[in-house]
DNA sequence: ATCACTTCATCCGTTCAACGGACAGGGAAG
DNA sequence: CTTCCCTGTCCGTTGAACGGATGAAGTGAT
């Protein structure tokens, strides 16, 4: 006999539970997978999943599995902080990459992470695992430090008070030292990170500012540790960053907000 | 006194109505906008919209409006036919663009349209309005013809029986003539389109094949009409297309399926 | 200052969409 | 054959969803 449904749960929350069951390591899931990963009873999961397919949010693969649909991808394309920014940045990122032939990354802030919006990579450059759509920690990546340093004092306190994971022996996890770095980054607009996230990789990052003076993104170049290339990359990086900021409406004289 | 809710509508359908109210020309909408565009009563629209914000599918902009959220964008990133294909294609598209300095487009099939997955553009090249996430007609664009020609006979019949919109005087709308072109494209793998979609623009497109022999995408180069560049572009385009197909697991000898 | 208008927010009684346990069919493994 | 897992369907119960009414807040014209 049918039992009452669990109270306090909305249809919407269940739908997003199902969708967020997909991740970079699981881009295709069967109905049983979805049931296991979400805990939703399978009759319910099935009904909702089929509705998602009908809406175009999911697609069925040949072998009775589900994947994120093209229609949902196109929706994501409309996110002002992602694809719109990405296309504005495209020529600058492109030129920077052509000039340096090193990894170039563009990232924005989401929660307590830096999310990679765009990424160009040379085949012969340092190996990196990060992907477009992937995320980097705020306290020990170039883009992360830029985004963190230009946020509100309360937010900085919150992040520094949290767990600062040590990725390599060189990762800076001392809050006092990090604060000094962030202050420096705030005044210069750029920051250098050496092997704090992965050994053998160094990066420089710079801020991207919009017409209202808000720091909306960070642009970085990643090179092999110890190579002379890092110093050579700084001027081009800064120039590209300023160019992109200008194309977003920023002009010299517009104060850069640090709220 | 409260009236009964309209029957035959699911929560899910309303949620997607709200989300799909966003389009390239309307990336930010107020609650009132959403009510107007979807026809959903505002009390309902408000409740659902706030749930979408909570889930991260939408974000609130400063001025009480809503926009597609970064979380939804990241979900879209997991679509195998979009971002995954895009990153596999990146080096090839990149090299093709470097060699030719002309518009390069990568598209896949969705319904009766070709959806643009990736696009690199030269500043001094022909003006095009298409954007990443945008769509092109199947019967008069390079990528469209490639994708259409490698689909099932039933699908081709259906498209040719539908309305074939004339965009320019040169647009081919005669089904018989189109069938001849599609047959030629099926055997050679490439197709040339001259000013059928917009005057002053010509394009060459080639198919992209995966390890199972299925045509999963189309790659094209767009140049100014009448320029000698079109002929020069063909060999590089074909080479890049083959390279991308190989990286997707295709090998010479694997038959190309036309279902 | 007053009015007209738009947008956002909350309340609350009604009702149907959503729920999920039970069962059945199909295919693969032992 | 039996067991196990997965997908798909049925159907009685019930609380989440619904939306009209009402009011607050903001905007602009006269």
pLDDT digits (tens, 9 = 90+) for A229-249: 888 899 999 999 999 999 999
Smallest Cα distance from B50 to chain A, Å: 10
B155-205 pLDDT, tens digit each: 999 999 999 999 999 999 999 999 999 999 999 999 999 999 999 999 999
Residue B237's nearest CA partner among B247, B245, B225 is B245
Cβ-Cβ contacts under 8 Å, A55 against chain B: 12-13, 16
Query: What band does A92 get if pLDDT is binned at 50, 70 and 90?
Result: very high
Cβ-Cβ contacts under 8 Å, B10 against chain A: 11, 51
- Please report the DSSP string for A22-66 in residue order: -BTTBSEEEHHHHHHHH---HHHHHHHHHHHHHHTSEEE-TTSEE
B72-130 pLDDT, tens digit each: 999 999 999 999 899 999 989 989 998 998 999 999 999 999 999 999 887 666 667 77
Fold of B80-247: Beta-Lactamase (3.30.450)
Please state the rounded mean pLDDT for residues A108-120: 96
**How far separated are the first and last CA of chain B, in Å rounded?**
57
Q: Cα separation of A210 and A77, whole Å?
A: 20
Cβ-Cβ contacts under 8 Å, B94 against chain A: 120
Cβ-Cβ contacts under 8 Å, A108 against chain B: 70
Structure tokens given for A46: 């099935």
Q: Cα separation of B68 and B65, whole Å?
A: 11
Q: Are A180 and A218 in contact (CB under 8 A)?
A: no
- For residues B167-191, one letter each, b for 16 or more C-beta atoms within 10 angstroms of the residue's C-beta and e for the rest, the string is beeebbeeeeebeebbeebbeebbb
Residue among B5, B9, B12 with most chain A CBs within 10 A, to mutate:
B12
**What are the residue ranges of helices labelled H in chain B?**
11-19, 31-38, 42-55, 70-76, 85-100, 142-149, 153-161, 175-188, 229-247
Smallest Cα distance from B78 to chain A, Å: 6
Structure tokens given for B162: 């539908």
For the four alpha carbons of A91, A102, A222 and A131, in that order, the dihedral sign comes to: positive
**Would you say residue A125 has pLDDT above 70?**
no
Helix, strand, or coil here: A12? helix
Smallest Cα distance from B169 to chain A, Å: 31
Residues shown for chain B: 259
- Say whether A72 and B51 touch across the interface (CB within 8 A): no
CATH number of A11-75: 1.10.10.10
Which bases of strand C sit closer than 7 A to a protein CB?
Answer: 6-22
Parallel/antiparallel/unpaired status of strands A113-120 and B215-224: unpaired
Cα A50 to its chain centre, rounded Å, is 30
Per-residue pLDDT, B124: 63
Q: Which nucleotide is nearest to A30 (CA to C1')?
A: D6
Greater model confidence, A128 or B201: B201
> Taking the domains of chain B in order of start, what are their residue ranges?
11-75, 80-247
B230-243 pLDDT, tens digit each: 888 999 999 999 99
Q: How far is CA B96 from CA B116, B121, B197, in A?
A: 17, 11, 23
- Say whether A57 and B16 touch across the interface (CB within 8 A): yes
Query: What band does B43 get if pLDDT is binned at 50, 70 and 90?
Result: very high
Distance CA A43 to C1' D1 in A: 30
Q: Give, for B135, the enclosing helix (H) or strand (E).
A: strand B135-137
Residue whose pair of structure tokens reads 């599609």 in the numeric block: B182
Q: Cα separation of B65 and B63, whole Å?
A: 6
Greater model confidence, A135 or B62: A135
Query: What band does A155 get if pLDDT is binned at 50, 70 and 90?
Result: very high
Neighbours of A1 (CB within 10 A): 2
Q: Are A113 and A135 in contact (CB under 8 A)?
A: yes
Nearest CB partner across the interface for A12, out of B51, B70, B80 = B51
Residue A211's nearest CA partner among A114, A124, A88 is A88
Cβ-Cβ contacts under 8 Å, B19 against chain A: 75
Q: How far is CA A107 from CA A83, A143, A147, A220, B21, in A?
A: 12, 6, 9, 8, 27
What phi, psi does A119 have (nearest 5°)? -160, 125
Q: What share of chain A is helix, strand, coil (3-state, %, to 5)?
A: 40, 20, 35
> Which residues does nucleic strand C approach, with CB less than 7 A?
A 1-3, 5-6, 9, 11, 14, 40-44, 47-48; B 1-2, 4-5, 7-12, 30-32, 42-43, 46, 64-65
CB-count burial class (<10 Å; 0-12, 13-18, 19+) for A154 = exposed
Q: Cα separation of B67 and B56, whole Å?
A: 10
Which bases of strand D sit closer than 7 A to a protein CB?
Answer: 5-21
């Amino acid at each position: 006999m049918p039992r009452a449904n669990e109270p306090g749960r909305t249809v919407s929350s269940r739908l997003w539970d199902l969708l967020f069951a997909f991740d970079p390591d699981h881009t295709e899931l069967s109905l049983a997978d979805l049931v296991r990963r979400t805990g939703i009873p399978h009759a319910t999961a099935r009904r909702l999943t089929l509705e998602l397919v009908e809406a175009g949010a999911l697609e069925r693969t040949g072998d009775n599995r589900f994947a994120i649909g093209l229609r949902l991808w196109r929706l994501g394309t409309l996110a002002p902080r992602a694809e719109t920014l990405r296309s504005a940045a495209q020529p600058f990122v492109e030129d920077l990459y052509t000039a340096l032939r090193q990894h170039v990354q563009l990232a924005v802030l989401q929660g307590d992470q830096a999310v990679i919006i765009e990424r160009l990579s040379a085949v012969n450059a340092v190996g990196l695992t990060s992907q477009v759509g992937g995320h980097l920690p705020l306290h020990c990546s170039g883009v992360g430090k830029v985004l963190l340093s230009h946020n509100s004092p309360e937010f900085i306190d919150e992040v520094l008070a949290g767990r600062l994971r040590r990725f390599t022996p060189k990762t800076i996890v001392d809050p006092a030292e990090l604060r000094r770095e962030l202050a420096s980054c705030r005044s210069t607009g750029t920051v250098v990170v050496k092997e704090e996230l992965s050994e053998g990789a160094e990066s420089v990052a710079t801020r991207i500012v919009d017409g209202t003076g808000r720091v909306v993104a960070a642009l970085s170049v990643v090179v092999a540790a110890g190579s002379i290339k890092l110093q050579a990359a700084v001027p081009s990086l800064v120039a590209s960053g300023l160019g992109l900021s200008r194309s977003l409406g920023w002009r010299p004289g517009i104060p850069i907000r640090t709220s």
